[in-house]
A and B are shown apart, each in its own frame.
Chain A
Amino acid sequence: MITHLFKLIWNKKKSHSLMIVEIWASFMVLFGLTTLIVINVGNYRKPLGFAYENVWAISLKNNQDTTEVANKIQRILQKLKAYPDVESASRMSANSPFSSYQTSNSVEYDKRKVSVDIYATDEEFAKTLAMQTVTGSWYRNTDSVGKYVPIVINQKAKEGLFEDENPLGKIISERYKVVGVVNTFKAKGEFMTDKPAMFELLKADQPWNNTMLIKVKPGTDAVFEAQLVKEIATMVKGWSVEVDYLTDSRKNQHNLVLVPVTIASIVSGFLLINVALGLFGVLNLSIARRRGEIGLRRALGATGSGISTQFIGEIWVLATFALLIGLLFAAQFPLLTVFDVPPSIYLTAIGLSVAIIYGIVTLCALFPSRQAALIQPAVALHEE
């Protein structure tokens, strides 16, 4: 029967070509969308690597003030640590979690070069964000003795630089010494790719790296925030102070990812609805035109359910022709590793898109094919 259906559709390929193009186009759009979704879902399923609840990011800007900037920043840090509502406070570079800043550079070990996101932090950073090391420990100020800067890397960076070697104590880029490894660190939120990252111990006497992270006690409210801002402003006149709750910043980062995906989903959704309605209409028309054939097939031994299956089979064959063309295009993405996305993601997206297309065409064919099954053979044959 399958061969029969293929012959039937192949012999009518000219009249079906538009429908094949429509299904092909839907598949390609769907493939793009599912790739995006599969990437984001894959990212989302990996742990964030830190706890952001009750953590505030305080950005300081010295503006015109250029005197003793580093000293003033350190004093603010000490002041923050002294508040009873603050459980821990840490100083770091501007690329704090969920911020829009990003700093990256290449590091090298034994001719292996890896591009890493670099975060300059102090020894309290891990405590403030409840980060756990999987190997070694978070650096302390005492680790900065000698010419090497102590660093902590994440698993991705470890895999890229050291593969199966133990990274502890290793020197990278002739400047950094690895003292610990954390699992993941997705600074831009759950939807961020788990990229190689490196944390280096900042120097207290540097006038930059002026972002503070504080972990406050649960229930600490805006009254404390206002008090904090006021007191810092009093300490460093002319500076601007901005407080962001990491929970809010996280939402903003999520929106940056989710809004384009949602828009793409809506556009694809409309396209698929159009295709589905088109298919539904074409099938209904086809059944109305083929009543004689339906009657004949019933006379020759087809059951009502057999007729229904045949029409679903026909639309499946049509979808298969379109998908075969679509697969020729889609297969190039995993083969050429386009956009540096792992082939497994493309293959999953292809599988999902194929399943969705077959699902949609089946849904479109269900009602018309049931109608076809109900056609009385004697009546249909008489009409012809």
Chain B
Amino acid sequence: MKNSCLSVNSSQIILFFILDLKNVLASFITYNSLITKMITLQNIEKVYRTSTIETLALNNINLNIQKGEFVSIMGPSGCGKSTLLNVMGLLDEPSKGTVQLDGQPVTQYRDKELARLRNQKIGFIFQSFHLINDLTVLDNVEIPLLYRSRNEGSSNGKPREAYAKEALAKVGLSNRMKHFPKQLSGGQKQRVAIARAIVGNPDIVLADEPTGNLDSVMGNEIMNILQRLNDTGTTIVMVTHDEQMAKRTHRLVRLFDGSQVL
């Protein structure tokens, strides 16, 4: 505080106070933006119905994910982790409750609006990579940008390919661009999937057991990439069975039989 160490008259005090007030306000705004809620789930319930059976997959889930957070979700198989991730990723509609993404309630959104939100705000990483075997690594990474109009995606006349190359460079796969997925190892495939998830510069990355199909070395490598991504401000929500991986995240959410226990 500069005013404390200066000898000044009253008008200068007022001026400094105004200057300080601006700083305080700026700090407040910055802090506020840091704690902005990225995903808000309120009273989420998901029921799967067939003609004979009704299964409650998620029961009264209330969860806030802050911007820049790295959250892991754990729980036994069938407890609803993936369902929760699908609801967060707007891939599945909750039977009850509301979902807010970046402050916008999206429950009533139509298919087109949901698709646009998924494309622009969310990146997905899956346990089984979900790469298209008939496309090269570069073409796989370009896919999210195909679903953007020119003014949404390749801005400043930058071609899609350039964005995809940048994303591949971030995961250290620049030398594998022309390869096909079948020519890659599991760890490399997952790095391609991460490049595809981040190519559109999303606010959130949702990772469903990203290290589940990998050995511990590869798993750690993927986790390092995710942490680096989180360090640049990307919110990450990761489903995992691995306690060690979960410990490396900011917060752990535990589910049991569709309910949040932690």
Which residues of A does B touch, CB under 8 Å?
Answer: 1, 4, 7-8, 11-12, 292-293, 295-306, 376-378, 381-382, 384
B146 touches A4 (CB 8 A): yes
Is B96's beta carbon under 8 Å from chain A?
Answer: no
- Asked if A302 and B147 make an inter-chain contact with CB atoms under 8 angstroms apart, the answer reads yes
In angstroms, how far is the closest chain B Cβ from the Cβ of A313? 11
19 contacts between A and B (CB under 8 A): A4-B139, A4-B143, A7-B135, A11-B134, A292-B128, A292-B130, A293-B130, A297-B147, A300-B144, A301-B115, A302-B147, A303-B111, A303-B112, A306-B147, A376-B92, A378-B91, A381-B91, A382-B82, A384-B128
A residues within 8 A CB of B126?
296, 381, 384
Q: Is the pair B115, A306 in contact by a Cβ cutoff of 8 Å?
A: yes
Which of A293, A295, A303, A384 has the largest number of chain B CB atoms within 10 A? Answer: A303
Residue ranges of B at the interface with A (Cβ–Cβ < 8 Å): 82-83, 86, 89, 91-92, 111-112, 115-116, 118-120, 124, 126, 128, 130, 132, 134-135, 139, 142-144, 146-148, 196, 200
Residue of chain A at shortest CB distance from B124: A299
Bound CA–CA A382/B81 (angstroms):
12
Besides A292-B130, A295-B91, A298-B118, 18 new A-B residue pairs in contact (Cβ under 8 A), listed by A number: A4-B143, A7-B135, A8-B135, A293-B130, A296-B124, A299-B124, A300-B118, A300-B119, A300-B143, A301-B120, A301-B147, A301-B148, A303-B111, A303-B115, A376-B92, A378-B83, A381-B91, A382-B82
Q: How far is the CA of A303 from the CA of B115 in the complex (A)?
A: 6
Nearest chain A residue, comparing its CB with the CB of B118? A301
Complex-state Cα separation, A1 to B146, whole angstroms: 6
With A11-B134, A299-B124, A301-B118 in contact, do A378 and B139 touch (Cβ < 8 Å)? no
**A302 to B91, alpha carbons, bound, how many Å?**
11
Asked if A8 contacts B130 (CB within 8 A), the reply is no
Residues of chain B contacted by A306 (CB below 8 angstroms): 115, 147
Q: How far is the CA of A32 from the CA of B82 in the complex (A)?
A: 57
Find the residue from B130, B139, B144, B148 having the highest chain A CB count within 10 A: B130
In the complex, what distance in Å separates the CA atom of A377 from the CA atom of B83? 12
Contact A298 B130 (CB under 8 A): no
Q: A306-B115, A378-B86, A384-B130 known; A299 and B91 CB under 8 Å? A: yes
* CA gap between A12 and B120 in the complex, in Å: 29
Contacts of A4 in B (CB 8 A): 139, 142-143, 146
Residues of B within 8 A of A8 (CB): 132, 134-135
The 5 closest A-B pairs by CB, nearest first: A301-B119, A301-B147, A378-B92, A378-B86, A303-B115
Query: Of all chain B residues, which has the CB nearest A310?
Result: B146
CA distance A382 to B86 in the complex (A): 10
Assembly CA distance A248 to B196 (angstroms): 74
User: Which residues of the partner chain B approach A378 to less than 8 Å between Cβ atoms?
Assistant: 83, 86, 91-92
Q: Tell me if B112 and A300 are in contact (CB < 8 A).
A: no
Give the distance to chain B from A263, nearest Cβ to Cβ, in Å.
42
Q: Taking CB as reference atom, which chain A residue is nearest B148?
A: A301
A382–B83 Cα distance when bound, in Å, is 10
Identify the closest chain B residue to A373 (Cβ). Answer: B111
Among A376, A381, A382, the most chain B Cβ lie within 10 Å of the Cβ of A381
* Cβ-defined contact, A301 with B91, below 8 A: no
Q: Give chain B nearest CB distance to A169 CB in angstroms.
A: 71
Known: A292-B130, A306-B115, A381-B126. A297 touches B139 (CB 8 A): no
